[in-house]
Structure 1
Amino acid sequence: MLIRKLGILLTIIYYQMLIYGFMPTTLRLKNCRMIICKVSKWYFIYSLCVTGALLLQFPYLFPPGVFSGYSYMRNNIVLQGNFIVSVTLRVVAFVSCYSLVWLQRKRLIQIFMDFLLHWRNHWPILCRVAGLEALQKLQLQLAKILLRQLLVNNGMLLCSILIQYQLLNGAKLAQIVVRASHMLMVSTIRLGFCTVLILHNHQFEAVLLSLQALRQRVGCRSLEDFHRIATIHSEWVRLAKRAFKIFDLAIASVFASMFTVIVSILYHAVQYINQTIKSDLSGYIIGDGLVLFSIWNLVLVMNLVNRTINSCNEAGHFLRQFNDLPRLSPESQKELEYIRNNRLVYRILGCVVLNRPAFLGYMASMLNNVIILMQFDLKRNQGTSLPTVKGNT
């Protein structure tokens, strides 16, 4: 049912999540098809061990001499405060994600089963109505989006690790490994969220392609297919709402951590630009890459969220064009009215809407925070000197 390119990318992300213990159950992958297996007790024990190991590593995230001694942030209270907030939010994201995996395991497995069941049942109808070639082109587009997300995410991760190595002067290899493992954990969570969006986006756009194909047909068979496609759309809307509700707290904590990290990256960049922290050419190049990949990653996530929601609501809007079809039963009219009024809106914690305008507002807020933090530098004693540290961020 999946083209090979998209299936390979989903397999890579699946094994990343499996290694970090983020899967409530294991899947058996065969010919780009997923089959849910029973939860293995050995995988359960393995996941608990990974959780405990990552939890024990949190104290080692603090660099030596962060508040005193030889540290590039020992005289900068803003850097210290921002670092503490970043680590705290990472702990919150860590706890919320792993709590979701094991406290809500049955609900997650059930939504996985419903997802696969709907996919298998609806695929023949979508292929017959929209056409296999059109669906394969759609999957190819989504594979390119997911590949771009994977490359940008890994590029950001690589630059972050290199920056940490330079900031610590390579003296604490164990600490660098700890930081890298936690960065990879957060990266895996982001990729998992993007994968959920990609899969839902696939179904919504497949429904839209089917509706566009049905619009050109007339007859009793087209009315029957229209009723089935409308039912498929309403089922996927309900499934998407269930998924967003289950992942709500975990996604909120991850986004809060991500925005805090970007503020820290931008403020570090300001520190290096005004020579508050010294750097060499390699540090500037890696730091510029980190800033670029961080903003690029945020834009990609923003576009993916916006595309998924718009594809769902656009299909509902497209259904309005079927009001003039003859022989629509009163039940079908009611179903159309329900679908049109039941728009998909993603709200974090039930109050904060997550869409493109909201993302742009968050980015503007981040820039404002960086500008405010820069005011502290203007008031600092110009005679205060900080140790020279290689690297940029």
Structure 2
Amino acid sequence: MLHPKLSRVLKVIYSHSVVFALMGTTLKIRSYKKSIRLDKLSWTYITYSLFISTYMLSNSYFMVPQEFLDGYIKNNIILRCSFSLMVGLGFMEMASCYGTIWLKRQEIIQFYKNSLNYWTRFKILMKTTVNKQELKDLQLSLASRMRREIMVLYGGFVFSTVVQYQLVSVLNNRTILAFGARITHMLHFVAVKMGFYTILILLEHQFKVIHLALHFIEKEQNRKQWKILSSIASFHLETLQLARKIFRVYDISNATLFINMFTSTINILYHAVQFGNESIQHDGWGALFGNGLIIFNIWGTLMLLNTLERAVSSCNYTGEQLKQFNDLPITSKNFQRELDKFATHLRNNRLVYKIVGLVELNKPAGLSYIASIFTNLIILMQFDLRLPQQQNIH
């Protein structure tokens, strides 16, 4: 029961995941029947996954030709270290993604099956308790946000490609091969971020549909009210378990995703400092695309953190919405009993997102994440401020 605009965006992101072999198996999407079913795992897709994962992991070797090290980063130890670090972290991010797919393939496929069964049963609740116009407005809003995120990710990719091409000092077969490998890695990174963003959007969609169903109960008073509330409570529990399982299965790959986002943002901002003090030669186009890269990179990071916060808070906000029933007349003892059970469940089950089970990532942590980026950038800038002084003294 998805709006066609939201369905089209999901198909685009699903295609990215299939191309880079980020799925446990393929799905069969039939628009005219508005249904999704799981295809039988074929040897063709397994062979394709093996080829893609091997290719993506092996081409990291071609990303560090000597011409890159002898170019604009030759006399800057920070740029040399950051370049090596980015290559190493990129390899680690791909290894964690494909390691998750290969080591947990059966678990992921079973997760797909459970999710499809969950969507089938949840569709009945949406048809009976959710206002169609409100559901349409919600899905259109989510589709708009997903299109905006795709635009931001590809905008950052285009600006990054142009800037990196301008930084290539020597054009030969090895540098072109390395440049192509880096573009492939960036596209893989874009696909991974799209997948994580989509999971968060779908979770937010489910929890907000539960909010709409509770709003329906508030307005509609009937004898079967307690049965509807019991169904909503059970679906909330299933959605919460689904979210926790997603976070657990993709824990390591999501952790490397955030580490790469952190280091790439610092690297981009430090390059901007080098552009500003003329340590890296550039023209007007280089400055234009460099500023665009900074804007799209920070924009995309903030959007992802905001989406994560909204997905988690939409789950935990259900308890606040349930308080509105305290001001309503209780129609039956059954309804009061189900209301108490639902409230107890919400108090004892709050959704949190922790990176590798240690660091909880919420709004304050997101602000600390951004602040630490600028703190590390300021520390790196001290080397650039001291270098001209030492040269003048000499």
Using the size of structure 1 for normalisation, the TM-score is 0.93
79-88 or 36-45: bigger deviation:
79-88
The correspondence for 1:181, drawn from 184, 193, 197, is: 184
Q: Which residue of 1 aligns with 2:354?
A: 347
Task: After superposition, give the CA deviation of every residue in 1:48-88 in whole Å (9 maximum; x if it has no partner).
Answer: 11111111210222243454xx3101111111111222111
What amino acid is aligned across from residue 348 of structure 2 in structure 1? N
89-98 or 283-292: bigger deviation:
89-98
Q: Which residue of 1 aligns with 2:54?
A: 52
CA RMSD across the alignment: 1.6
86-95 or 268-277: bigger deviation:
86-95
C-alpha distance in structure 1 between counterparts of 2:257 and 2:115, whole Å: 24
- 1:334 Cα deviation (Å)? 2.9
- 1:15 Cα deviation (Å)? 0.9
The correspondence for 2:44, drawn from 33, 42, 45, is: 42
Is residue 163–residue 286 contact of structure 1 (8 Å, CA) maintained in 2?
Answer: yes
Which consecutive segments of 4 or more residues in structure 1 shift more than 6 A?
none
Q: Which residue of 1 aligns with 2:124?
A: 124
Answer yes or no: is 1:258 the counterpart of 2:265. no
Question: Which structure is higher in helix share?
Answer: 2
Cα 1:129–1:43 change in 2 (3 A) is same
C-alpha distance in structure 1 between counterparts of 2:170 and 2:110, whole Å: 46
Q: Which residue of 2 aligns with 1:387?
A: none
- 1:320 Cα deviation (Å)? 3.1
Identity of aligned residues (%): 36
What amino acid is aligned across from residue 387 of structure 2 in structure 1? R
Using the size of structure 2 for normalisation, the TM-score is 0.93
- 1:348 Cα deviation (Å)? 0.8
* Equivalence map 1:117-156=2 (5 Å): 117-156=117-156
Q: Which residue of 1 aligns with 2:343?
A: 336
C-alpha distance in structure 2 between counterparts of 1:363 and 1:7, whole Å: 33
Task: After superposition, give the CA deviation of every residue in 1:31-57 in whole Å (9 maximum; x if it has no partner).
Answer: 153211111111101111111111121
C-alpha distance in structure 2 between counterparts of 1:276 and 1:317, whole Å: 54
C-alpha distance in structure 1 between counterparts of 2:35 and 2:6, whole Å: 11
What amino acid is aligned across from residue 54 of structure 1 in structure 2? M
Answer yes or no: is 1:61 the counterpart of 2:63. yes
Is residue 316–residue 343 contact of structure 1 (8 Å, CA) maintained in 2?
Answer: no
C-alpha distance in structure 2 between counterparts of 1:151 and 1:370, whole Å: 27
Other structure's SS at 2:317 match: helix
- 1:136 Cα deviation (Å)? 1.4
C-alpha distance in structure 1 between counterparts of 2:64 and 2:170, whole Å: 15
C-alpha distance in structure 2 between counterparts of 1:285 and 1:155, whole Å: 13
C-alpha distance in structure 2 between counterparts of 1:383 and 1:331, whole Å: 74
Is residue 345–residue 353 contact of structure 1 (8 Å, CA) maintained in 2?
Answer: yes
C-alpha distance in structure 1 between counterparts of 2:52 and 2:357, whole Å: 31
C-alpha distance in structure 2 between counterparts of 1:224 and 1:167, whole Å: 64
Q: Which residue of 2 aligns with 1:287?
A: 290
Is residue 16–residue 188 contact of structure 1 (8 Å, CA) maintained in 2?
Answer: yes
Query: Which ranges of structure 1 fall in alignment gaps of 5 or more residues?
Result: 385-393
Query: Which ranges of structure 2 fall in alignment gaps of 5 or more residues?
Result: none
